[in-house]
């Protein structure tokens, strides 16, 4: 084996082995030496604009930015020499003096140790207790509060352009830019329109990388410093992508969600995963309720469960519907309950689609961003799996060929180098045997065009949805072995549900058990039955029509696993503690089964996990 090439440098007297192509800042960081920087961000291409990371490098005429300067063998670097520190202080003074950085009135204000505001932290580190230049408080720096979820306060902006670069390089949305020049420079959206009217999709990547309080989250502002909150890594249950998140919680409340840089989504999230989860929700159901004299009346768990058990025992056939947002464990317990306790096969998913068949070598999310040819056939990732949509746009920016195959216009059409038309071959016959619902076909010429494009590429990825004809799936399966496949699954854990035999389908029975978790109807009506039990976290039209209502955990309280579009089993870890009177779904089912007179084959969640994972 050939040893990896090494560049030997010295930083602050310490010998360091760096990799060729690394910058001084990266090499130092790997060796545990932190060179202060503001415009630099490990997940953005370096810009070298803030000049805070200037260091002294032997044989260089002037100070050099560590964030852009490449390492070279024998290089000797001083990061905290008198010259470097002096210039760093002057630069920090300039930044502080440019706009209104009045820390005590800023929601990002932290302490010398905290990471709330990176500018303030450096101010502490270098003992800046004043600055020599005239302050700029007099100027009315605009505040743009036209975006729903976060606010841009230009007074706190240091023009590091992390937001602009995040918008370009990570989200590939290209909304943010810079207008004017010199001291008139301002961050702007599109052709200088208000953020709320711009092409911004509220992915919030800019918010996550802002080093100061210029971009402020409406929900979490003033609700806790970094030192007072807890950061927990978890999985977003917003859709089937299963993005890695970092949840910021305090006092058992979810304040904010950020993207996990180390997960497959590489820090990116969509507006649903980042912002919608902290938006106000309907009234939480804390206790079971039983319909008495036409009204839902709170009662004890024992009474409600006993009542429901009686109804289920009486019923000839009980049907069950579960939300595809529930983790494997809840779904498995639900299926088990129906099969073993109620002896019923009438159990399915509340909504969603059958996940498409597995076709070949599965792709991971990074394959999409790194691909040079992406085929999107049936499905609309820009709407349904938004983070995947961003990855496609990122690949497009890197000159990947985009081929869109669909029967209707999608948001990706403007990126498509080739667009092929799917043909609707659905057939609505009377008999269930003659029905062919939502089925689409791609003609032979289209298939050969697609094949030619994929064959010409080096790292092709095919993203495919459900509802294609067997012929098309066969054609996709016959593509060269270098193709990686990513199914566009609708329904967060539809893949996990499918492995348990749960799929969206009509269910029959005079009694109905609907396990909705924290889902909300959004216009969807439940089928009317003689007796309906709804287990839900929130009051909604669903619970209002139910005979018995049981409380449920919300996503952030659940524990278990989900299977994402990559086919990976992701652990769902509880971020919050559920109210005392709210129990996990599987526990409710255990209690209910005992009251029906049958014991389920598990009594610990680990038993179910073992069985399903």
Partner 1 sequence: MTPEELSKIATIEQEEQQQHKHVIQVCVAAGCLSSHSDQVKDALDKEVSKRGLENTCHVKGVGCLGLCAAGPLVRVQPTAKPDAAVMYQAVTANDAADIVSSLEGPPVKRLVCPTNVPFFTRQKKIVLENSGIIDPDRIEEYIAVNGYAGLLQVVSTMRPSEVIDEVMRSGLRGRGGAGFSTGLKWSTVAKGRGSTKYVICNADEGDPGAFMDRSVLESDPHRVLEGMAIAAYAVGASQGYIYVRAEYPLAVKRLKAAIRQAERAGLLGNNIFGITFNFSIDIRLGAGAFVCGEETALIASIEGKRGTPRPRPPYPAESGLWGCPTLINNVETFANVPPIIRNGSAWFAGIGTEKSKGTKVFALAGRVTNTGLIEVPMGIPLREIVYDIGGGIPDGKKLKAVQTGGPSGGCIPEQHLDMPVDYESLAKVGSIMGSGGMIIMDDTSCMVDVAKFFMEFCRSESCGKCVPCRVGTAQMHDLLCRITDGSGTADDLTLLIELCDVLRATSLCGLGQTAPNPVLTTLQFFKHEYDAHIQKKTCPAGSCTIHAPAEVI
Residues in contact with partner 1 by the rule CB under 8 A: 46-52, 54, 62-63, 65, 68-70, 83, 87, 90-91, 94-95, 97-98, 132-134, 158-159, 161, 177-178, 180-185
DSSP state of 269: -
Number of residues assigned to the chain: 613
> If we measure between CA atoms, which residue out of 272, 398, 412, 367 comes closest to residue 565?
367
Q: Give the tokens for residue 110.
A: 């932290």
Rounded Cα distance between 80 and 77, Å, is 9
Nearest approach, Cβ of 82 to partner 1 (angstroms)? 13
Contact 515, 321 (CB under 8 A): yes
Nearest approach, Cβ of 52 to partner 1 (angstroms)? 8
Nearest approach, Cβ of 21 to partner 1 (angstroms)? 11
Nearest approach, Cβ of 93 to partner 1 (angstroms)? 9
Q: Give the tokens for residue 595.
A: 């009251």
Q: Which is nearer to partner 1, 213 or 466 (CB)?
A: 213
Q: Give the tokens for residue 500.
A: 């348990």
Q: Which is nearer to partner 1, 49 or 469 (CB)?
A: 49
Q: Give the tokens for residue 133.
A: 């230049």
Can you list the positions of beta strands (E) in 450-558?
A: 460-464, 484-487, 511-517, 531-536, 548-551
Q: Which is nearer to partner 1, 18 or 461 (CB)?
A: 18
Angle value at C-alpha 64, between 62 and 68, nearest 5 degrees: 155
Sign of the Cα torsion 28, 31, 34, 37 reads: positive
Nearest approach, Cβ of 564 to partner 1 (angstroms)? 36
Nearest approach, Cβ of 235 to partner 1 (angstroms)? 37
Q: Which is nearer to partner 1, 90 or 541 (CB)?
A: 90
Nearest approach, Cβ of 48 to partner 1 (angstroms)? 4
Rounded Cα distance between 236 and 213, Å, is 25
Nearest approach, Cβ of 16 to partner 1 (angstroms)? 20
Contact 39, 65 (CB under 8 A): no
> If we measure between CA atoms, which residue out of 93, 181, 86, 107 comes closest to residue 150?
107
Sign of the Cα torsion 205, 207, 212, 215 reads: positive
Rounded Cα distance between 499 and 567, Å, is 11
Nearest approach, Cβ of 68 to partner 1 (angstroms)? 4
Q: Which is nearer to partner 1, 69 or 555 (CB)?
A: 69
Q: Which is nearer to partner 1, 164 or 526 (CB)?
A: 164
Nearest approach, Cβ of 520 to partner 1 (angstroms)? 44
Nearest approach, Cβ of 145 to partner 1 (angstroms)? 24
Q: Which is nearer to partner 1, 160 or 612 (CB)?
A: 160
Rounded Cα distance between 493 and 517, Å, is 13
Q: Which is nearer to partner 1, 31 or 72 (CB)?
A: 72
Nearest approach, Cβ of 118 to partner 1 (angstroms)? 14
Rounded Cα distance between 196 and 147, Å, is 4
Q: Which is nearer to partner 1, 52 or 363 (CB)?
A: 52
Residue with tokens 């920090």: 92
Contact 441, 423 (CB under 8 A): yes
Q: Give the tokens for residue 395.
A: 């690949």
Q: Give the tokens for residue 188.
A: 């702007």
Q: Which is nearer to partner 1, 132 or 140 (CB)?
A: 132
Nearest approach, Cβ of 83 to partner 1 (angstroms)? 8
Contact 54, 91 (CB under 8 A): yes
Q: Which is nearer to partner 1, 183 or 433 (CB)?
A: 183
Nearest approach, Cβ of 47 to partner 1 (angstroms)? 8
Nearest approach, Cβ of 177 to partner 1 (angstroms)? 7
| Rg, Å, the chain Cα set | 28
Q: Which is nearer to partner 1, 178 or 452 (CB)?
A: 178
Can you list the positions of beta strands (E) in 378-525?
A: 401-406, 418-421, 423-424, 440-441, 460-464, 484-487, 511-517
Q: Which is nearer to partner 1, 83 or 505 (CB)?
A: 83
* Residues 6 or more apart in contact with residue 463 via CB below 8 angstroms: 368, 374, 375, 376, 377, 379, 381, 388, 392, 485, 486, 487, 488
Sign of the Cα torsion 561, 566, 568, 573 reads: negative
Q: Which is nearer to partner 1, 139 or 366 (CB)?
A: 139
Q: Give the tokens for residue 217.
A: 């989250």
Angle value at C-alpha 209, between 238 and 390, nearest 5 degrees: 45
Rounded Cα distance between 276 and 95, Å, is 34
Alpha helix (H) ranges present in 172-289?
205-209, 271-274
Q: Which is nearer to partner 1, 107 or 136 (CB)?
A: 136
CB atoms within 10 A of CB 244: 23
Inter-residue long-range contacts of 287-293, CB under 8 Å, 24+ positions, other chains counted: 287/551, 287/581, 288/548, 288/549, 288/550, 288/551, 289/543, 289/548, 289/549, 290/547, 290/548, 290/549, 291/546, 291/547, 291/548
């Amino acid at each position: 084996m050939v040893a990896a090439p090494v560049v030997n440098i010295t930083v602050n007297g310490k010998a360091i082995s760096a990799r060729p192509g690394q910058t001084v800042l990266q090499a130092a960081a790997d060796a545990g030496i932190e060179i202060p920087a503001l415009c630099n961000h490990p997940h953005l291409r370096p810009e070298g604009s803030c000049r805070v990371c200037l260091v002294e490098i032997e044989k260089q005429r002037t100070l050099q930015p560590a964030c852009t300067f490449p390492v070279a063998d024998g290089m000797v670097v001083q990061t905290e020499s008198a010259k470097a520190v002096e210039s760093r202080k002057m630069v920090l003074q300039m930044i502080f003096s440019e706009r209104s950085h009045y820390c005590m009135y800023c929601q990002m204000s932290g302490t010398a140790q905290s990471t709330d505001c990176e500018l303030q932290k450096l101010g502490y580190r270098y003992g800046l207790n004043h600055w020599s230049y005239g302050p700029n408080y007099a100027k009315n720096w605009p505040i743009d509060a036209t975006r729903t979820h976060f606010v841009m306060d230009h007074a706190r902006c240091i023009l590091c352009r992390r937001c602009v670069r995040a918008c370009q390089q990570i989200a590939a949305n290209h909304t943010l830019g810079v207008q004017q020049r010199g001291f008139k420079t301002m961050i702007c959206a599109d052709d200088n329109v208000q953020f709320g009217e711009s092409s911004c999709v509220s992915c919030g990547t800019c918010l996550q990388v802002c080093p100061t309080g210029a971009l402020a989250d409406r929900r979490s502002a003033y609700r806790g410093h970094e030192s007072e909150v807890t950061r927990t890594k978890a999985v977003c249950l917003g859709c089937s992508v299963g993005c890695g998140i970092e949840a910021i919680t305090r006092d058992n409340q979810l304040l904010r969600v950020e993207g996990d840089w180390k997960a497959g989504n590489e820090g990116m999230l969509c507006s649903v995963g980042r912002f919608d989860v902290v938006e106000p929700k309907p009234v939480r159901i804390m206790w079971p309720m039983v319909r008495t004299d036409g009204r839902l009346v709170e009662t004890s768990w024992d009474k409600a469960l006993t009542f429901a058990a009686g109804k289920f025992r009486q019923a000839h056939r009980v049907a069950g519907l579960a939300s595809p947002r529930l983790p494997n464990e809840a779904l498995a317990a639900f299926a088990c309950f129906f099969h073993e306790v109620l002896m019923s096969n009438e159990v399915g998913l509340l909504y969603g689609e059958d996940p498409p068949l597995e076709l070949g070598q599965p792709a991971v999310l990074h394959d999409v961003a790194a691909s040079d040819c992406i085929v999107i056939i049936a499905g609309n990732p820009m709407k349904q799996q938004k983070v995947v949509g961003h990855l496609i746009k990122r690949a497009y920016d890197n000159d990947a060929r985009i081929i869109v195959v669909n029967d209707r216009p999608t948001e990706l059409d403007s990126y498509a180098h080739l667009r092929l038309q799917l043909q609707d071959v659905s057939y609505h016959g009377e008999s269930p045997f003659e029905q062919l619902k939502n089925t689409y076909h791609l003609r032979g010429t289209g298939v050969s065009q697609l094949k030619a494009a994929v064959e010409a590429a080096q790292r092709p990825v095919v993203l495919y949805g459900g509802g294609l004809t067997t012929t098309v799936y066969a054609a996709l399966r016959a593509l060269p072995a270098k193709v990686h496949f990513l199914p566009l699954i609708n329904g967060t854990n539809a893949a996990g549900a499918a492995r348990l035999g749960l799929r969206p389908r009509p269910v029959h029975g005079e009694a109905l058990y609907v396990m909705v978790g924290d889902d909300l109807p959004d216009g969807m009506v439940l089928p009317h039955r003689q007796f309906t039990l709804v287990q839900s976290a929130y009051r909604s039209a669903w619970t209002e029509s139910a005979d018995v209502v049981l409380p449920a955990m919300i996503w952030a309280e659940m524990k278990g696993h989900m299977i994402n579009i990559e086919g990976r089993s992701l652990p769902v870890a509880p971020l919050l503690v559920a109210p005392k009177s709210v129990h996990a779904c599987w526990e409710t089912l255990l209690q209910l089964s005992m009251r029906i007179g049958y014991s389920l084959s598990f009594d610990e969640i680990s038993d179910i996990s073992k069985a399903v994972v």
